[in-house]
Structure 1
Amino acid sequence: MERVMWNEVVVVPLLGWPLMVTLGSSFVLVVAATALGWSRVRGPRAVRVLQRAALVGSSQALVVLLLAAGANNYGYFYGSWSDLFGGSSQAAVALPPTHGGPGPRQGHVGAAGALPAVKSGPTSWSTPTEWATRGRVDTVTVRGARSDLSEQALVYLPPAYFQPASAHRTFPAVEVMTGYPGVVANLVQRQHYPDTLLTEMGQRRAGPMVLVMLRPTVAPPRDTECTDVPAGPQALTYLAEDVPSAVESAYRVRPTGWGAMGDSTGGYCAVKLAMAHSDVFSTAVSLSGYYHTLRDTTTGDLWGGSSVLRDLNSPEWLLAHQPAPPVSVLATIGTAEKGHTGISDTRHFLSLVRSPMSVTSVVIPGGGHNFHSWSTVMGPAFDWLSKRLHAA
């Protein structure tokens, strides 16, 4: 059984079958112990009641944990124990590295001048002989000179990046974000962003683009909602300024005219990046995103008690009270998505959009807040993005 070290204690990984097998086996053992020991408990009546209650409670707790682990294993909500309880996110990238072949640009350093802005290495997603036909996925650590934040990401380089005819070409880039809390590897292994783009490029529906895949949870376990928190994590600065600058210093990507794309919280962040930093981001794709600020137990107060700062982080408020930015947005939503972040919120956002901002909407009949619904529109979303990014 594969095990990892966490806080110098050997623990079963949070994702994968080892934890499921461990919990399932424990449940079977507890049920067996309950059946065999029910009539064998000894002591006063109160003690016997407590012993039997402990046996039943243990089996019920294990059932709940098993269901929770199964849901997490399917949805990739938390990638590691440190994600769940807070701490480093370095375990989020699950693709193993390989070696050989050309890396990113050499000799570039971050704005601070001390450490490289991007520390990179290719993964085993493709072999060196496949790079010119399939592309490559790099695992990178992006250090933010302005925000002082550091986060792991996966960078997909399209086949054209490695072809001699494009040796000096710069490519449009798209920042792709997970929902909250998110696992970066999920964007490759479960949602298949590189494979989907590769298919669209192969069918000549989309041009080559570099995908910078990461999660907006830059200060786990807190959900910063891509916000520059007063006296706290500068998440918006990191995602909107540090990431594009660092990636542009390491790869052949355009410094401006970026796209942003994400699901759920990542969709909200994509739209906010484009609206707040239209000098860098010209387009955004929101897959089941929402368009107003949230406050709950995972966020806390992100605005230092300032209603003004809260308004400035709401795309809907900005459209209602300030000039619209010159950006394009693709908003998708399923008809089964209800509540204050569902289809009614998307319709309200669409009603507020005005020139020079433009919006395209896609409504998925019966679609829900899940990977299946997003996968049905991901290919067309890449086509939509490509048309605008390559035209620019």
Structure 2
Amino acid sequence: MPLLGWPLVLTLSVVTLVTMVVTLVAWPRVRGGRPLRVAQRVGLLLVTQVATVLLVAAGLNNYGYFFGSWSDLVGQTSSGAPDPATISRALGVKPDSSGTDHGRTGVAPSQTQSAVAHATQSQWSTPAQWSTKGRVQAVTIAGAHSGMSEEALVYLPPQYFQPAYRHTRFPGVEVLTGYPGMTTALVERMHYPSILLSEMAHHRAKPMVLVMMRPTIAPPRDTECTDVPAGPLALTYFAEDVPRAVASDLRVNATGWGAMGDSTGGYCATKLAMTHSSVFTSAVSLSGYYHTLRDGTTGDLWGGSPQVRHLNDLEWLLQHQPAPPVSVYASIGTNELGHNGIVDTRRFASLVRPPMSVQVVTVAGGGHNFRDWSRVVPAGLDFLARRLA
């Protein structure tokens, strides 16, 4: 049974209800001496509590998309060893009968079948709808420089399939979840493709290719999009490998990218723009933070080096290095009062100076959740569309 979805929640609901009924019926009927009766009743309570906790955990996971599979839950990656091939193997796209160029490299069917084994969103639209709705395709992007590989969902806008745009190269945007995150949440819960489609229809946004990913490329560790000394080269993967791989096989610009994300994804998006401004010109941070973190999920990401830690601290960079020529859109809820909340966002904004710019948007009554992030996604996409080539 899948970890995500209502079947597991409903099954655990039934199990919880049954354990409660059994506890109520069996409670007055236990037999034996006093120690044995106490032990039996404690056992009944424990079984009921465990079932209840599992039900709540499954419900929260179903809402938050924290873990997408049992292998994710136990810290195993499902993407397998990195494939040295570029993204074209995963897409496996070829010119159709209309002559529209879906991608520049064709592959053998066996390679395509293997590469898209984890495709879950290919039915977002049918081929007949691609020129009006666009396409969401599951792919695996292998990093030539980082040696890392991760699954992604790529949204190609409808213009990508229209003959009038057959020679157009589109701007690219990396969209990142929080930690640990599920990429499917960006489509099913945050509705990025649908919102971009709506914004384009209302002429508030221009066509962009969305490369939707999670920042957890070395599960269960939270790398914070950092090149960890003697560890995962997460920053190299997201900042260099992903744009190059996508640009080499799709009609997407190699530079002039945007980045967008929530929570940890917001920190990563801003970090990509600030540390690799030659590739990323703008970023949108939804409830992101702007300083380095160290906790049980990250461990030591800097190899004990204060310098490496500083170079991954966005506020330190603004205080000690020249500001990069990038634009940042930072949203934060007024109810986010913790160390990574509204105070941190305002502190970051106060440090920004030309040629960098920042636009801070506060969400009245907003918190750290999908509902409030979704309210800002349209404006965030519009912000990127105005700034990308």
> Structure 1-normalised TM-score?
0.90
**What does residue 41 of structure 2 align with?**
52
Residue identity matched to 1:166: Y
Counterparts of 1:149 and 1:376 in 2: how far apart (Å)? 33
Deviation at 1:40, TM superposition (A): 2.9
Q: Secondary structure in 1 aligned to 2:339?
A: coil
Q: Secondary structure in 1 aligned to 2:154?
A: strand
Deviation at 1:13, TM superposition (A): 1.4
**What does residue 247 of structure 1 align with?**
246
Q: Secondary structure in 2 aligned to 1:39?
A: helix
Deviation at 1:362, TM superposition (A): 0.9
Q: Secondary structure in 1 aligned to 2:153?
A: strand
Counterparts of 2:326 and 2:298 in 1: how far apart (Å)? 28
Q: Is the 8 A contact 1:98 1:123 kept in 2?
A: no
Tell me the percent identity: 62
**What does residue 137 of structure 2 align with?**
138
| Residues 1:245 and 1:98: Cα distance change in structure 2 (over 3 Å) | closer
Q: Secondary structure in 1 aligned to 2:17?
A: helix
Deviation at 1:47, TM superposition (A): 2.0
**What does residue 75 of structure 2 align with?**
86
Q: How many residue pairs are counted as aligned between the two chains?
A: 367
Q: Is the 8 A contact 1:180 1:216 kept in 2?
A: yes
Counterparts of 1:328 and 1:35 in 2: how far apart (Å)? 61
Q: Secondary structure in 1 aligned to 2:124?
A: coil
**What does residue 351 of structure 1 align with?**
350
Counterparts of 2:92 and 2:5 in 1: how far apart (Å)? 22
Q: Is the 8 A contact 1:98 1:124 kept in 2?
A: no
Q: Is the 8 A contact 2:171 2:388 kept in 1?
A: yes
Q: Secondary structure in 1 aligned to 2:281?
A: strand
Determine if the alignment matches structure 1 residue 181 to structure 2 residue 176: no
Q: Secondary structure in 1 aligned to 2:367?
A: coil
**What does residue 61 of structure 2 align with?**
72
Residue identity matched to 2:189: R
Counterparts of 2:22 and 2:141 in 1: how far apart (Å)? 50
Question: Counterparts in 2 of 1:113-262, with a 5 A limit?
Answer: 119=115, 123-262=122-261
Q: Is the 8 A contact 1:152 1:214 kept in 2?
A: yes
**What does residue 381 of structure 2 align with?**
382
**What does residue 20 of structure 2 align with?**
31
Determine if the alignment matches structure 1 residue 14 to structure 2 residue 3: yes
Q: Secondary structure in 2 aligned to 1:175?
A: strand
Counterparts of 1:170 and 1:14 in 2: how far apart (Å)? 39
Residue identity matched to 1:348: R
> Structure 2-normalised TM-score?
0.90
Q: Secondary structure in 2 aligned to 1:15?
A: coil
**What does residue 364 of structure 1 align with?**
363
Q: Is the 8 A contact 2:173 2:209 kept in 1?
A: yes
Q: Is the 8 A contact 2:228 2:302 kept in 1?
A: yes
CA RMSD of aligned residues (A): 2.1
**What does residue 7 of structure 1 align with?**
none
**What does residue 61 of structure 1 align with?**
50
| Residues 1:244 and 1:326: Cα distance change in structure 2 (over 3 Å) | same
Q: Secondary structure in 2 aligned to 1:361?
A: strand
Q: Secondary structure in 2 aligned to 1:38?
A: helix
| Residues 1:277 and 1:131: Cα distance change in structure 2 (over 3 Å) | same
Question: Counterparts in 2 of 1:261-280, with a 5 A limit?
Answer: 261-280=260-279
| Residues 1:347 and 1:131: Cα distance change in structure 2 (over 3 Å) | same
Counterparts of 2:27 and 2:346 in 1: how far apart (Å)? 58
Q: Secondary structure in 2 aligned to 1:320?
A: helix
| Residues 1:189 and 1:100: Cα distance change in structure 2 (over 3 Å) | farther
Q: Is the 8 A contact 1:283 1:327 kept in 2?
A: yes
Greater shift in the superposed pair: 57-66 or 132-141: 57-66
**Structure 1 segments of 4 or more deviating over 4 A?**
97-103, 118-122
| Residues 1:167 and 1:119: Cα distance change in structure 2 (over 3 Å) | farther
1:318-361 residue CA offsets vs partner (Å, 9 max, x unmatched): 00011111111111111111111000000000000011111111
Deviation at 1:119, TM superposition (A): 4.7
Counterparts of 1:28 and 1:99 in 2: how far apart (Å)? 49
Residue identity matched to 2:39: L
**What does residue 3 of structure 1 align with?**
none
Deviation at 1:98, TM superposition (A): 12
**What does residue 40 of structure 1 align with?**
29
Q: Is the 8 A contact 1:101 1:128 kept in 2?
A: no
Greater shift in the superposed pair: 99-108 or 248-257: 99-108
1:209-229 residue CA offsets vs partner (Å, 9 max, x unmatched): 000000000011111100111
Residue identity matched to 2:138: T
Q: Is the 8 A contact 2:92 2:105 kept in 1?
A: no
Q: Secondary structure in 1 aligned to 2:329?
A: strand
Residue identity matched to 2:33: P
**What does residue 326 of structure 2 align with?**
327
Deviation at 1:104, TM superposition (A): 2.8
Counterparts of 2:252 and 2:104 in 1: how far apart (Å)? 11
1:15-48 residue CA offsets vs partner (Å, 9 max, x unmatched): 1112112211111221222122223323332122
Gaps of 5+ in 1: 1-11, 92-96, 109-114
Residue identity matched to 2:213: L
Counterparts of 1:172 and 1:279 in 2: how far apart (Å)? 14
Greater shift in the superposed pair: 20-29 or 328-337: 20-29
Deviation at 1:202, TM superposition (A): 0.3
1:102-144 residue CA offsets vs partner (Å, 9 max, x unmatched): 5532159xxxxxx99x956771111111111111111100011
| Residues 1:99 and 1:358: Cα distance change in structure 2 (over 3 Å) | closer
